[in-house]
Structure formats: structure tokens, C-alpha cells
């Protein structure tokens, strides 16, 4: 475990538009006008959360951490002058002959102490602590169908991908569903229970803040202890959701229960000790963790909807339209609206787009889309090719091979 000194000064960093995207990244997709569409979507019938009882876990002395420590003086023991006074030479800034340094106000400070220096005799007084939980997950092969029940009936199957579990309910809904709810087309409320969940694998950052007495000075500090390998919490938990809504099956499509784990972690009675050799210091953390596992569960079913929406007009693979897509990446902030209906070209706003309500002259090589037709048009319509070969007549968007 080595101590990394972290500067409090933040650099400007890259532009926001180079690292942050819009809420919906459409990658220049154009959208049609709004129209009714039949779509299948996963409808969410239940969205729930449950928290288990805390598990106490002592922090092992040999736990391997990646540590970061920031030290800052409680006050500047300096004589500061924005005019670079105090016997200093030069103008404002820190080009002073006394070897001054810049203060937070941008002034030149002379006769300054070099700052806080950590020693092995440092005494830490922790006034604030919290844990940033990055992952709290189960070990592999610790949860089976028998551990996951609805009204006491085990789910049909249970699969895991990463930290996400999916439970199928094909047979379960017929056994546990309430007839009254089924007749009304409403989901039934059930008691969802997960038992024997554990051991747990914790990946987190423990943050401790306060003051430290070191080398005759009192300094503020922030210490971060980051796990290099997950901490194993050897205990099991029970999590219950008393009112999980589960709909019936429709056309052979049954609901599924998706759930994943997270948690809240507290650090109890933490202490920090430092061991320093020359300029290298090692921090050791002791104390206990109170781990509260959580489960986030949702019930979804593939459901047919009639949606008033606009379709993304994506060109067919292998066509010139797909080849000519503009791939330039503009960098603007704030970003433009992610998706807007009616952005695709239409005959009313783009002369290159053919109006499919009239007939196009496919023999004119100079046209972008030179359409003819109407009652006053003296030109004959082109012959209809090859019978009923999938042509959309009275339009230039047919699917024939001519």
C-alpha cells in the first residue's frame, strides 16, 4: 500500500462535448413524421426495492488497498500581498525573490511554511466517513431457483449475466395468479422472497475526512481506501418484497422477473495509522463494515402497443445511401436535441425527394427526381413492368428491378 499525493488544483480538462454526450445518442439519424406504429415493448408491471439486515464484517489487517491522501493546511502561515510586497521583488504572481508561492487568491505569499508533511507519529482525528459502493454482488453459483420464490413457489428457471438475474415464470403464473385479477386483465400481487443470498463480494472506496496532527501542525485531510480485489463478506441475507405485481400470460408470453443486487455500506469506528520511510508513507485502516445488501427487482412482459411515434429513417445496408452518410463529428455544447420527429427530408422541404403520390420519369437522366403526372400532363406514364412484381404504382418508391 503506497500513498499517492493528490493535488487539490483541478485542471481545465477536455471540453464537455468531447467526453459527454446527449441523453440519447442518435448519431445523426433522421426521423419521419409522427404516425401510428405497432410495436412490441417490455412493459414494466412492477418496480421494487428491498434492503436486508446489516452484516458486520471486520476489516482484515492484511487487506490490500490503493490509497490516496490529500493534506491541506488549516490556515496559511504566510505573509501575503497581491502587490508582491513584504520585501519581495517583481510584480504580482510568484516571481518573487523570497521564493514565495501562489495563494488561493492568486497573490504572492512570502515566508511560507512548505505545507503539511506526514510522519509516522501523525494522529488522525476522523470527523466524517462514507463508503462509495461500486459493486456488491454474489459469488457465482450461490443462488438457484429454490432460493427465489413467489408465494412460496420456486421460479421456473434462473439465469445470471454479470450481476443481473432473470427468472422465468411460465408455470408459476398459472399456479399463483388470482382468477379475479386475471379476468379483469390486472396483475396479481405476490410475496417475492430471496433466501440464502451470500457470500457477498464488495468493491468500494472508503472515504475518511478530518484533521491530522503531524510534524507540529494541524492539517485537514481526506483519505481514500480503494479495494484492489473484492472483499468477501461471509454471510447470507434474506430479501423480501411483499407486493410484487405479476401479470398473466398472453399468447404464450409470460412475464419475467429481473433483479440485481447493490447495497449500502457504513464504516464503523475507523482508525488510520501511518508508517513513513523517507518520503514514502503507508496508510493502514482498521475498523468494521456494516453491509446492507439491496435487491432491485422489476417484472416485465413483452407487450403489443400502438404507439404514435416517428421512425428512424435508416438506409438499407449495402446501398449508396448508407455509404454517403455524413460521419462528421461536430463538437457543440450544449448538444442539440437528441431526436426530433420530422427531421427526415420530405417532398415539401427537399426538391431532391420524390413525391410518391405521382409518377416519376425514370428515363430522364438529369433528374434528381423529375416527376410527371397530374391531369394536365401530356406525357404517357411508363409501362408497368413485369406484371405484379412488387411495384408501388403511382409512385417512385416501388420495389421492382427496373
| pLDDT for the residue 344 | 78
| pLDDT for the residue 377 | 42
DSSP 357: T
| pLDDT for the residue 98 | 52
Q: How far apart are CA 258 and CA 47, in angstroms?
A: 10
Tell me if residue 145 falls in helix, strand or coil.
helix
pTM for the predicted model, two decimal places: 0.71
| pLDDT for the residue 245 | 96
Which residues in the chain land under pLDDT 50?
Answer: 1-2, 4-12, 89-93, 104-105, 367-402
Close Cβ partners of 396 (under 8 Å, ≥ 6 residues apart): 354, 356, 359, 360, 362, 369, 371
| pLDDT for the residue 30 | 83
| pLDDT for the residue 27 | 65
Q: How far apart are CA 90 and CA 97, in angstroms?
A: 7
| pLDDT for the residue 107 | 57
Amino acid at each position: 500500500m503506497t500513498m499517492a499525493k493528490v493535488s487539490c488544483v483541478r485542471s481545465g480538462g477536455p471540453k464537455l462535448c468531447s467526453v459527454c454526450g446527449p441523453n440519447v445518442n442518435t448519431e445523426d439519424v433522421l426521423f419521419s413524421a409522427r404516425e401510428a406504429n405497432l410495436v412490441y415493448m417490455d412493459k414494466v408491471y412492477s418496480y421494487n426495492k428491498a434492503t436486508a439486515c446489516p452484516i458486520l464484517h471486520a476489516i482484515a489487517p492484511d487487506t490490500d488497498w490503493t490509497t490516496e491522501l490529500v493534506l491541506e493546511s488549516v490556515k496559511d502561515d504566510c505573509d501575503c500581498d497581491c502587490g508582491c510586497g513584504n520585501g519581495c521583488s517583481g510584480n504580482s504572481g510568484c516571481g518573487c525573490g523570497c521564493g514565495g508561492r501562489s495563494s488561493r487568491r492568486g497573490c504572492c505569499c512570502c515566508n511560507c511554511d512548505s505545507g503539511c508533511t506526514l510522519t509516522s507519529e501523525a494522529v488522525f482525528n476522523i470527523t466524517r466517513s462514507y463508503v462509495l459502493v461500486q459493486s456488491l454482488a454474489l459469488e457465482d453459483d450461490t443462488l438457484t431457483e429454490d432460493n427465489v420464490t413467489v408465494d412460496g413457489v420456486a421460479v421456473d428457471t434462473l439465469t445470471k449475466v454479470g450481476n443481473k438475474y432473470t427468472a422465468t415464470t411460465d408455470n408459476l403464473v398459472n399456479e399463483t395468479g388470482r382468477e379475479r385479477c386475471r379476468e379483469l386483465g390486472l396483475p396479481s400481487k405476490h410475496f417475492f422472497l430471496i433466501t440464502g443470498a451470500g457470500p457477498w463480494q464488495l468493491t468500494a472506496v472508503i472515504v475518511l475526512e478530518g484533521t491530522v496532527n503531524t510534524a507540529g501542525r494541524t492539517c485537514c485531510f481526506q483519505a481514500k481506501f480503494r479495494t484492489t480485489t473484492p472483499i468477501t463478506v461471509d454471510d447470507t441475507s434474506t430479501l423480501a418484497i411483499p407486493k410484487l405485481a405479476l401479470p398473466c400470460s398472453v399468447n404464450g408470453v409470460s412475464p419475467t422477473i429481473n433483479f440485481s443486487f447493490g447495497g449500502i455500506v457504513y464504516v464503523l469506528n475507523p482508525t488510520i495509522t501511518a508508517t513513513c520511510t523517507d518520503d514514502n508513507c503507508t496508510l493502514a485502516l482498521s475498523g468494521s463494515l456494516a453491509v446492507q445488501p439491496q435487491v432491485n427487482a422489476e417484472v416485465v412482459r413483452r407487450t403489443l402497443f400502438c404507439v404514435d411515434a416517428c421512425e428512424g429513417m435508416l438506409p438499407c445496408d449495402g446501398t449508396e445511401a448508407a455509404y454517403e452518410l455524413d460521419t462528421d463529428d461536430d463538437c457543440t455544447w450544449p448538444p442539440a436535441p437528441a431526436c426530433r420527429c420530422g427531421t427526415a427530408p420530405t417532398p415539401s422541404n427537399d426538391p431532391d425527394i420524390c413525391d410518391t403520390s405521382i409518377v416519376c420519369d425514370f428515363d430522364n437522366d438529369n433528374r434528381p427526381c423529375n416527376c410527371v403526372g397530374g391531369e394536365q400532363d401530356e406525357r404517357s406514364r411508363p409501362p408497368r413492368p413485369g406484371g405484379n412484381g412488387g411495384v408501388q404504382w403511382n409512385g417512385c418508391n416501388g420495389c421492382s428491378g427496373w
